[in-house]
A and B are shown apart, each in its own frame.
Chain A
Amino acid sequence: QVQLVESGGAVVEPGKSLRLSCAASGFTFSSYVIHWVRQAPGKGLEWVAVVSYDGNYKFYAESVKGRFTISRDNSKNTLSLQMDNLRLEDTALYFCAKDFTGTYSPTFDVWGRGTMVTVSP
């Protein structure tokens, strides 16, 4: 069964850091581009970041560039998102999502249930 399971969400103060994880199973993790996507309360989906299958290429939304770092460990089938200098507007449910074809396609075919990050004073 193809599955993604996020963890690490918490309540943190502005300016602090947090690290999210996503555990993958049921597919060849090292062959696929993987994304982070978030949904703020009452808002729509927002793409956050993507990492290439080998971890060598990383791209970010302008809203998180310079503060968030995406990475992966193919030996452990795990994706991570290091979030530094958190802002109130980073409050959201964070999903990891698998690229459909493996190579930067427009489609995410497998998603996790998400992990909640709340940034509050």
Chain B
Amino acid sequence: QSVLTQPPSVSAAPGQRVTISCSGNSSNIGSNYVSWYQLLPGAAPKLLIYDNNKRASGISDRISGSKSGTSATLGIAGLQTGDEADYYCGTRDSSLTASWVFGGGTKLTVL
């Protein structure tokens, strides 16, 4: 069971906007920056968002991130079929000397 909680799946039609939530606690999201990653089968995971809301190099402005308290949200606007992938949130956890935690992942389906 993952430390951070994400919905197992989300779906939307091409062109629409979807959001993926990530919930944690005061030791992880509440006190650290959140990052978001895209995983495609056979490919290296790709960093999308870091420091809660900053887009990584080369990432489309259709991608956005936000954080409030102990929760974070990834937004993808103008959905394209190429956006179908698994998305993970991640951060550090301050409850241990050195620990990094992730969500369980969300499968995005573009209908």
Contacts and interface: CB of A to CB of B under 8 A. Distances in A.
Nearest to B100: A47
A96 to B, nearest CB: 10
A111 B40 CA distance: 12
A108 interface: yes
Contact of B100 (A35, A43, A109, A113): A35
**Could you say which interface size class chain A belongs to?**
20 to 34
A107 interface: yes
Interface residues of B, number: 29
16 contacts: A45-B45, A45-B105, A47-B99, A47-B102, A59-B98, A59-B99, A100-B50, A104-B98, A106-B50, A106-B100, A107-B51, A109-B47, A109-B50, A109-B56, A110-B47, A113-B44
Interface of B: 2, 32-35, 37, 39, 42-47, 50-51, 56, 88, 90-92, 97-105
